[in-house]
Structure 1
Amino acid sequence: MIAALEFHLIDFSRNWRGTVFGSFVVPLLTMLGFGVGVGGYVQGGVDGVSYLEFLVPGLLASTALQIALGESTWPVMANMEWIKLYPAQAATPLRPVDIVGGHLLFALLRVIGGSSAFLVVGVLFGALPSAWALACLPIAVLLGLAVAAPVFAYSIAVPTEVYLSLLMRFAVIPMTLFSGVFFPIETMPVVLRWVAYVTPLWHAVDLCRTVTLGRAPDWAVAGHLLYLALWAVAGITLAVRGFHRRLGV
């Protein structure tokens, strides 16, 4: 698994410069556009805090989601179907669990890097009033694993890249819009509220908001963590089985 991770790190070392710039520019523009721009029209804040303080933890979780998805969709299909990286790795002593685990670990490192950049920008904007905001990093990692692992299984199971576009259009975009990132889900109809409860993103958003605002944890925290862990375990299991089937080993 470490050998598979090493391959992805060496490959990333050739183009990391382009991603570093974007890691800071994207959260900066997002906070300026939504937190400062839109937030200027939100009188009285949300749930007793300014709109910027309400928004930032949701955006951080959403950023972790997007990074995890970016590494578990087209790159996974490309490695299996187009450039044949996974079949080549399977011809070595690497097992399917090593191939999956190495790439997942790399995806989680990407999540840590992007989430850390978002935290830095959030601190510069004064949008993270509690030092507990650092706990957003392990939450982002758990969310990344809960999302990337099942999408790994999905990406090698679908026949064409069209299905990846469908995933983004009909699952990821609605989940981002209606999981409490931009407004409290209590303002939505009951049916949509329950849809938000099912998505892993809402659970991570609520966790990040709890720690960044310095609120006392309650029983719901354990429920959020357990739910995300179940997504991660189920996703890893399905991904490893799928790789076994596709690689014929």
Structure 2
Amino acid sequence: MSVAERAGPGVARVPALAVFAYYLVGYRRTWRAGVFSSFLLPVLTVLGFGVGVGAYVDRGVGGVPYLDWLVPGLIASTAFQVAVAESTWPVLSNFRWIGTYSAQAAAPLRIGDIMGGHLAFVLFRVLTSTVAFLLVTALFGALRSPWAAVVPLVGLLLGLAVAAPVFAFSAAVPSDSYLALLFRFAVIPMTLFAGVFFPVEQLPGGLRQVAYVTPLWHGVDLCRAATLGVAPQWSVPGHLLYLAAWSVGGWLLARRVFRRALVV
């Protein structure tokens, strides 16, 4: 049991904001490379998929040029992949290799502080990556609606809906071999078949229903509706509630796994 939990609620404790600041201090040493890749990768992706492949898609998709249709899917996919990347090896290493979580649990920090601070940093990375991608695509003229301004908020909700359950998974697995399986059997298929590169309606019925279950499809549909200025396939409240359910469920599961691993 941590110092704060043994002593009770009267003990002054360090909030999750301090844990978030801890990760920001470490990020100060690597942010330059991160900023470079945050802008370079969107440029290469838009040029490769949007301009290169898009040149072969004469009719576009639904009357929209392929580049304009593709961009919101790529933005949502970026938020999704950043959330997963920041919630796998960093979480596992904090448990198995570096012991950061154990050190934090020995301080006046509660499980919610440890998780909340780290999740806040993950969402910070999601937000910066999403905004960078949005700025790049704006330069390519691929944003057709002022509603594109809400895309970073969608990216944050999608990032939380993904990061929270992945935190639980990464905290529970005994080695990083399981993380490779997560990417191979979940992240890559979800990226390919959740409506990022082509409409989900092109899939057979069974696969289509699986795509609708994934949080990425909901993020893609919201981002696409915002950047194109059209109505989403689902209702906006339905999308938001679904992603919120993933976020809350993932948080509760991760909190349980963290508590079991850290509270003795």
TM-score by structure 2 length?
A: 0.93
CA contact (8 A) 2:221 2:233 kept: no
Partner of 2:62: 47
> Which of 43, 47, 52 is residue 28 of structure 1 equivalent to?
43
CA contact (8 A) 2:224 2:232 kept: no
CA distance in 2, matches of 1:30, 1:217: 24
> Which of 144, 161, 169 is residue 146 of structure 1 equivalent to?
161
Partner of 1:63: 78
1:76 and 2:91 are equivalent in the alignment:
yes
After TM superposition, the structure 1 stretch with the greater mean CA deviation from structure 2, 209-218 or 51-60, is 209-218
Partner of 2:247: 232
Partner of 2:132: 117
CA distance in 2, matches of 1:77, 1:195: 28
> Which of 111, 115, 123 is residue 108 of structure 1 equivalent to?
123
Amino acid at match of 2:43: L
Partner of 2:145: 130
CA distance in 2, matches of 1:158, 1:14: 29
Amino acid at match of 1:121: V
**Residue 81 to residue 19, structure 1, CA distance change in 2 (3 Å):** same
**Residue 244 to residue 204, structure 1, CA distance change in 2 (3 Å):** same
CA contact (8 A) 2:72 2:220 kept: yes
Give RMSD over aligned pairs. 1.0
CA distance in 2, matches of 1:218, 1:25: 31
> Which of 217, 221, 226 is residue 211 of structure 1 equivalent to?
226
CA distance in 1, matches of 2:239, 2:62: 20
Q: For the pair shown, which has the larger CA radius of gyration, 1 or 2?
A: 2
Runs of 4+ in structure 1 off by over 2 angstroms are: 216-219
CA distance in 2, matches of 1:219, 1:50: 22
The DSSP-based 3-state class of the residue aligned with 2:235 is helix
1:120 deviation in Å?
0.5
The DSSP-based 3-state class of the residue aligned with 1:43 is coil
Amino acid at match of 2:92: M
The DSSP-based 3-state class of the residue aligned with 1:159 is coil
CA distance in 2, matches of 1:23, 1:119: 11
Amino acid at match of 1:85: T
1:4 and 2:19 are equivalent in the alignment:
yes
1:218 deviation in Å?
7.7
Partner of 2:29: 14
1:48 deviation in Å?
1.2
CA distance in 1, matches of 2:178, 2:255: 20
Amino acid at match of 2:27: F
1:243 deviation in Å?
0.7
Partner of 2:215: 200
% identity of equivalent residues:
62
1:131 deviation in Å?
1.1
1:176 and 2:191 are equivalent in the alignment:
yes
Contiguous gaps of at least 5 residues in structure 1: none
1:173-201 CA distance string (max 9 Å, x none):
00000000000010110001001011000
Contiguous gaps of at least 5 residues in structure 2: 1-15
CA distance in 2, matches of 1:179, 1:217: 14
CA contact (8 A) 2:154 2:223 kept: yes
The DSSP-based 3-state class of the residue aligned with 1:93 is coil
Partner of 1:187: 202
